[in-house]
Amino acid sequence: MPLIVQKFGGTSVGTPERIQHVATKIKKHVENGEQIVVVVSAMSGETNRLTELAKSMGELPPTPREFDVLLSTGEQVTIALLSMALHQIGIQARSYTGSQVHILTDSAHNKARILDIDDKNIRADLDLGKVVVVAGFQGIDEFNNITTLGRGGSDTTAVALAAALKADECQIYTDVDGVYTTDPRVVPQARRLERITFEEMLEMASLGSKVLQIRAVEFAGKYNVPLRVLSSFEEGEGTLISYDIDDKDKEMESALISGIAFNRDEAKVTITGVPDKPGIAYQILDCISDKNIEVDMIIQNISADGTTDLTFTVHRNDYEQSMKILNDASEKFGSKEVKGDNKIVKISLVGVGMRSHAGIASQMFKVFADEGINIAMISTSEIKISVVVEEKYLELGVRALHESFGLEQNYFK
Amino acid sequence: MPLIVQKFGGTSVGTPERIQHVATKIKKHVENGEQIVVVVSAMSGETNRLTELAKSMGELPPTPREFDVLLSTGEQVTIALLSMALHQIGIQARSYTGSQVHILTDSAHNKARILDIDDKNIRADLDLGKVVVVAGFQGIDEFNNITTLGRGGSDTTAVALAAALKADECQIYTDVDGVYTTDPRVVPQARRLERITFEEMLEMASLGSKVLQIRAVEFAGKYNVPLRVLSSFEEGEGTLISYDIDDKDKEMESALISGIAFNRDEAKVTITGVPDKPGIAYQILDCISDKNIEVDMIIQNISADGTTDLTFTVHRNDYEQSMKILNDASEKFGSKEVKGDNKIVKISLVGVGMRSHAGIASQMFKVFADEGINIAMISTSEIKISVVVEEKYLELGVRALHESFGLEQNYFK
C-alpha cells in the first residue's frame, strides 16, 4: 500500500471551499488504496493578519518565542477545518499540531530546524485507515516551546515527514502544475518537465524559479525522498524531482539542458585600481558581508600596473548600500574608481547533462553573440552556466536559448 | 509576596488597544510586589469567527475533537499578544497553552473537566519574576488531545490555577465592576456588594445575575479560593466572594439579605384533576425530562375528590413543548385540564442571614401584599426564598423588596 505525504499551501486552502476541494482530492487518493499524510499551511492571508496583530502590540520585532505561539495558530486552524471537511465526505481523519506529532526542532524561534519526528501516532492512525492531517511550518523544542520553521516551512515539514515515514512520494501541491523549462510568461513555448534531478531543481529554485523552497529540496535530496510538484487546482502528473532518471530515460539522455532560470533582482558593483596584494578581495568583501549583504558572482581581473579590478553582484535592494560601502573602502584602500549598474539580470542554463557534454558554454555564448547581446560576467558550475547581461536583453536572451537548446521538445516522451 | 491569579475575558482583550490596557493593569500589580498569573479568553468575536469557519465545512455538529483543535487557537492568539504587550512595557512574561502548562482534563471534548494541573513551569517562571500568561478554556487529555472546557471555561481555568497554586486571590475582570444587590437597570439604587459568600453567589448566578459562571463559583467554593469580581475598565475593589465574612463584619451581621435575583425566562404549566396515586408526579415529570426539559419549581396540591393538581415552571423556550407533552399525558392519565402561563417571572431574595433570622418570608409576602401583587408559587431553601408572580409586576416587586430590606445601605462600611 503506497504511503504518500501531500502538502497543500496557503492558496490551496485559502477559503472554506478550497479546503473542501482539497478534501475531495484526498478522498480520491484514499479510494485508490493509498495511505495519506497531509501537511497544510495557514489559510492564505492568515499569517499576514496575525503578523499585523503582533505589530499592533508595539513590540518590534515581537518576542520570537511569543511570535511563534501566535503564528502557529494559523496552521492549527487549517488542520481542524480540513479534518472536518474529510469527515463530512466520509473519510476518517485526525489532526496533529507540530507539538502533538512531536516535530522536535532546535530552539531557533522563527527559523527553527527539524531535529526529529516521532512517527508512532501517525503510523497507528494510518494502520487504522485514517488520513493524518499535520500542521506544517511548526514544531516544538526540547523545552516544549512552540517553534516555527520560517518561510516555506510547510514544504520542509512535508519532506521531513516523508523521510521519517519512508514515504513512497512527497507531493507538493501549489498554484502551478509543475516545474517548467523556464518561466512561461517569458517563453510561451516553455514546457513542463516530467522529471528533474534534485541538483537541477536547486539551481532552478535558487535562480528564481520559485516553485519550491530550496530548503525543502535540499532536505528531500539529503534523505532521497522523491518529490513531486503538482497543481492544487488542475489534474496532471506534475514534475517529479528525484536522484535517478530511470533506465528507459537514461537511454534518451540527449536532454543536456533541463531549463533556463533567470533573476531580475541583480545589481553589480565594481571597484577598480585596487592594489593587487594578497587578501585585498577578502578585505573588501568583508566590508560588504559585515552589513549582511549577500554576494553572488565575483570576478577579479589583474591589470598591467600592479592593481586589480573587483566586480561582484548583489541583490538589487542592497545596491545603494553596497555602492556606499565601496566608496568608503575606496578611500581606505586607495583604489581608483567605484562604479555600478543596477539594470542587469542573470540568466542561467541548468542541466546535469552538461557534466558529460562539452560545448554547452560555447553554444550559449554563440546564441548571445548572434543576437548582439553583450555578456558582462560569466560564472560556471558543474551543472550550470550563468551570465550577466543588460536587463533589456532578458526576454530576448532567454527565448533564444530556449529555442537553440530545443527545450520546447519533450525528450521523456 | 502575594500570588494573584487574574482572568480577563473576551471583551477585556477584544482589541489590540484593550490588550495593551490589560498589560498596563498587570504592570501596576507587578510593581506592587505581587506575583501574577494571568488567564485570558479569546478576543471577543474570535470564537464566533472560528465557529462560522467550522460550520462552513458542512459537518454539523463538527467532530468534537477537531472543533477543540480549532477553538483553542483563539486563546493561543491572546496569550501571545498579551505577552508581547507586556514585554513592550518592560514586564517579563511567558505564555502557556493549556497543553504546555499541562491542564489535564477528561476526554469530554467541548465540555471537558479539569483533573489536574502541573504547576512546575509556572512556579519556576514566577520565581524568576516573570508574569505567566495562560490560555483559558483549554486543556489536554491523557492521550495528548486538545480539549476545551465549554462556556465560561476561562473562569474555571483561572480558579483551577488559583487552587493548584494556592493563590491568595483569584480576580475575575469583567465588564461590570462587581456583584450588585440586584440589577441596577431595574433598581437604580442597587449597591455593589463588597462581599458575598459562595453559596449566595451561586444562588444569585443561577437565578440570572450572569456575572460569573456557576461552575467557576462551585470550583472556587470547593477549593476555598477567594474570588474577586472587578471591572477591566474602571478602578475599584469589586466584590469579594469567599466563605467567611471576617470578624469585624460578623458583628455587623444585620445584613440578612445580600441581594435580589430575578429571572424573566420563566413559564408555568399546570395539569389538574390527576388521580392522586403514588408515583403520579414522577410519571408526569418523566415525560418532560425525557425531552431534556429542565423543571425548576414544582407544586402539588391535593383536592377533595381524590385527584391532585401539579404545577411546575420551565424555561420559556420550553413552554410550547411542555404544554404539548402535558396535553398528551392528560389523555393517558385521565386528568381534567392542562393550563399554562408564559407571562410569569421568578423573584428571589438571597442571603445567608436568613438561616438565623425568622420572619424574612413573612416580610417578603407583606411587601407583595401591600403592593397588590399576587404570588402564584413559592419555593424556599436555606438561604433563599423564591416567588413566581405575573411578569408585569417584576420591576415593582424587585424595587419594593430592595427598599423594604434596606439593600441600598452598605452594612459593611
In sequence order, what DSSP letters do the residues of A97-159 get, joined into one string?
Answer: -TTTTTEEE-S-TTS--EEEE--HHHHHHHHTT-EEEEETTEEE-TTS-EEE--TTHHHHHHH
* Section B198-209 average pLDDT: 79
A30 vs A200: CA distance, rounded Å: 32
pLDDT confidence of residue A283 = 86
A66 touches chain B (CB under 8 A): yes
- Sign of the four-CA dihedral B19, B23, B25, B29: positive
Report how far apart, in Å, the C-alpha atoms of B261 and of each of A352, B305, B336, B346 are: 82, 38, 35, 8
* Section A346-372 average pLDDT: 89
**pLDDT surpasses 60 at B49:** yes
Q: Which residues of chain B neighbour A97 with C-beta distances below 8 Å?
A: 69, 146
Q: Which of A221-235, A330-344, B207-221, B379-393 has the lowest mean pLDDT?
A: B207-221
A175 pLDDT band (50/70/90 cuts)? confident
A88 touches chain B (CB under 8 A): yes
Contact A76 B69 (CB under 8 A): yes
Q: Which residues of chain A neighbour B50 with C-beta distances below 8 Å?
A: 77
Q: Which of A174-178, A384-388, A399-403, A409-413 has the lowest mean pLDDT?
A: A409-413
pLDDT confidence of residue A245 = 56
Chain A, nearest residue to B52 by Cα: A16
B337 vs B160: CA distance, rounded Å: 50
pLDDT confidence of residue B255 = 61
What are the structural domains of chain A?
A: 3-248 (3.40.1160.10), 259-404 (3.30.2130.10)
Closest-CA residue to A372 (of A397, A348, A354, A345): A397
Q: Which of A193-202, B98-107, B214-223, B277-286 has the lowest mean pLDDT?
A: B277-286
pLDDT confidence of residue A411 = 52
Which candidate from A57, A99, A146 shows the least CB-CB separation from B84?
A57
A208 pLDDT band (50/70/90 cuts)? low
Complex prediction ipTM: 0.83
**pLDDT surpasses 90 at A137:** yes
B348 pLDDT band (50/70/90 cuts)? very high
Chain B, nearest residue to A58 by Cα: B88
pLDDT single digits (tens) A253-303: 456 789 999 999 999 999 998 888 878 888 888 889 888 899 989 888 877
A53 touches chain B (CB under 8 A): yes
Chain B, nearest residue to A60 by Cα: B88
Q: Which residues of chain B neighbour A69 with C-beta distances below 8 Å?
A: 76, 79-80, 83, 95, 97
Q: Which residues of chain B neighbour A144 with C-beta distances below 8 Å?
A: 100
Which candidate from A57, A69, A81 shows the least CB-CB separation from B95?
A69
B85 touches chain A (CB under 8 A): yes
pLDDT confidence of residue B65 = 97
Q: Cα-atom radius of gyration of chain B, to the nearest Å?
A: 24
In a mutational test of the B interface, the residue from A69, A79, A95, A103 whose CB has the highest number of chain B CBs within 10 Å is A69
Q: Which residues of chain B neighbour A56 with C-beta distances below 8 Å?
A: 16
Report how far apart, in Å, the C-alpha atoms of A270 and of each of A299, A325, A335 are: 9, 12, 11
Which candidate from A69, A70, A77 shows the least CB-CB separation from B70?
A77
Q: Which of A49-53, A214-218, B135-139, B309-313 has the lowest mean pLDDT?
A: A214-218
Q: Which residues of chain B neighbour A21 with C-beta distances below 8 Å?
A: none
Q: Which residues of chain A neighbour B16 with C-beta distances below 8 Å?
A: 53, 56-57
B148 touches chain A (CB under 8 A): no
Chain A, nearest residue to B51 by Cα: A81
Contact A88 B54 (CB under 8 A): no
Q: Amino acid identity of A97?
A: T
Q: Which of A326-330, B242-246, B330-334 has the lowest mean pLDDT?
A: B242-246
pLDDT single digits (tens) B300-319: 887 778 888 889 999 999 99
**pLDDT surpasses 60 at A412:** no
B120 vs B124: CA distance, rounded Å: 6
Chain A, nearest residue to B93 by Cα: A66
**pLDDT surpasses 60 at B278:** yes
**pLDDT surpasses 50 at B251:** no
The percentage of residues in chain A with a pLDDT greater than 90, rounded to a whole number, is: 70
CA distance A362 to chain B (A): 58
Size of chain B in residues: 413
Contact A76 B70 (CB under 8 A): yes
- Sign of the four-CA dihedral B131, B135, B139, B140: negative
**pLDDT surpasses 90 at A109:** yes
* Section B44-68 average pLDDT: 95
Query: For the packed helices B153-165 and B214-222, what is the interaxial angle rounded to 10 degrees?
Result: 10
**pLDDT surpasses 70 at B208:** no
Which runs of consecutive H residues, i.e. helices, occur in B351-393? Answer: 360-370
pLDDT single digits (tens) B96-134: 999 999 999 999 999 999 999 999 999 999 999 999 999
* Section A130-145 average pLDDT: 97
pLDDT confidence of residue A228 = 96
In a mutational test of the B interface, the residue from A57, A86, A96 whose CB has the highest number of chain B CBs within 10 Å is A57
Contact A81 B54 (CB under 8 A): yes
**pLDDT surpasses 70 at A98:** yes
Contact A16 B56 (CB under 8 A): yes
* Section A316-329 average pLDDT: 92
All 3 cell numbers of residue B105? 482534563
A210 pLDDT band (50/70/90 cuts)? low
pLDDT single digits (tens) B12-27: 999 999 999 999 999 9
Supply the DSSP string of A68-94, one letter for each residue. Answer: HHHHHHHHHHHHHHHHHHHHHTT--EE
Phi, psi (rounded to 5 degrees) for B185: -70, -25
pLDDT confidence of residue B300 = 84
A241 pLDDT band (50/70/90 cuts)? very high
| Averaged pLDDT score across all residues of chain B | 90
CA distance B35 to chain A (A): 21
Contact A53 B16 (CB under 8 A): yes
CB within 8 Å of B169: residues ≥ 6 apart: B2, B4, B5, B162, B225, B226, B227, B228, B240
Chain A, nearest residue to B74 by Cα: A73
Kind and range of the H or E element at B18?
Answer: helix B16-31
Chain B, nearest residue to A68 by Cα: B80
CA distance B57 to chain A (A): 5
* Section A204-209 average pLDDT: 68
Q: Which residues of chain A neighbour B66 with C-beta distances below 8 Å?
A: 80-81, 83-84, 87, 95
Which candidate from A53, A69, A100 shows the least CB-CB separation from B76?
A69
pTM of the model: 0.85
pLDDT confidence of residue B247 = 46
**pLDDT surpasses 50 at A413:** no
Which candidate from B66, B67, B80 shows the least CB-CB separation from A69?
B80
Contact B97 A146 (CB under 8 A): yes
A128 pLDDT band (50/70/90 cuts)? very high
B53 touches chain A (CB under 8 A): yes
* Section A133-153 average pLDDT: 93
pLDDT confidence of residue B335 = 84
CA distance A141 to chain B (A): 12
B84 touches chain A (CB under 8 A): yes
Instruction: Count contacts between A and B (CB, < 8 Å).
Output: 112
B50 touches chain A (CB under 8 A): yes
